[in-house]
Structure 1
Amino acid sequence: MAHKNPSPAVDIIIEMVDRPDRPIILIERLNPPYGWAIPGGFMDYGEPAETTARREAMEEIGLAVDLVELLQVYSDPKRDARQHTVSLVYIATAKGEPTAGDDAKNAKIVNVWELPNNLCFDHDRILHDYLQLRHYGIRPRVG
């Protein structure tokens, strides 16, 4: 049996600092699984995770981002039905108007109290952890 490793990826919670209440950006996925997600994607070989985050933000929403902090690493083998994916989730800031690109069908700015129900992967858990940190200063638990 061939040895198999999880695929490394990044996801980026992008706060729009040029708008009241610092809403975030979601993308509607063009490819399965369909639904809404925080921007992100797979790391390229030899690419640092921070570079991947900036590249994916530019490709998917057309905005340069400033990375603020690492929220958490999410590695549950069931978080992505396509394959075992390990995601480093960053909190970032941006200004401007997002435009959908790459594998994003749409991009929209949403207030955190208006999140859609059809979030992909484990992004509901990720956004819950983000809100706990943002509003209460509680960092996500490991494991």
Structure 2
Amino acid sequence: MKNPLLTVDTVIIHKESVTLIKRKNPPYKGSWALPGGFVEYDETVESAAIRETKEETGLDVTLGDIVGVYSNPERDPRGHIISICFLGKKIGGKLVADTDAAEVKYFCLDEVSTIDLAFDHGKILEDAFDLLNIK
């Protein structure tokens, strides 16, 4: 029996900007994406989001609301992968790319709509902006 895999993503809005990583590995190698990754066995989704964010961006975050659950079987070319996306608030750390990120950068909120984002991360950001009442 096949089962979907579970991932997490984090939307970090900080000083009128959003934190994105440039993917180091396929799929979407070289594209910008939200920090995130696979939930490990015996790990909560909240712990996974905090860990993945730290590993990929160098930032320490606390988690807020859930932006949404993204379960379209076609959202990831690797297979049926479900993502739970959280709002994250920066509480420390230094912006530095690591693990699966080739680069990490703050993008102005109005610049995000011009970027070709990996996966369905454009839709996730639209949902996050709606949740936060960002126009």
Output the TM-score relative to the length of structure 2.
0.91
Aligned to 1:14: 12
Gaps of 5+ in 1: 137-143
CA RMSD of aligned residues (A): 1.5
SS at match of 2:60: coil
**Per-residue CA distance 1:83-141 (angstroms, 9 max, x = gap):** 111100000110454100001000000111111422000001101111112126xxxxx
**Where is the strand percentage greater, Structure 1 or Structure 2?**
2
Aligned partners of 1:98, 1:5: CA distance in 2, in Å? 35
5+ residue gaps in structure 2? none
Give 2:21's aligned residue.
27
Q: What amino acid is the match of 2:22?
A: E
Is 1:69 the counterpart of 2:65? The answer is: yes
In the TM superposition, residue 67 of structure 1 has moved relative to its aligned partner by 0.4
Question: For the residues of structure 1 that align with 2:79 and 2:25, how far apart are their CA atoms?
Answer: 15
| Alignment-derived partner of residue 81 in structure 2 | 85
Find the aligned partners of 1:38 and 1:102 in 2 and give their Cα distance.
14
Structure 2 letter corresponding to 1:101: D
Give the structure with higher Rg (CA). 1
1:111 to 108, 112, 129: 108
Q: Percent identity?
A: 40
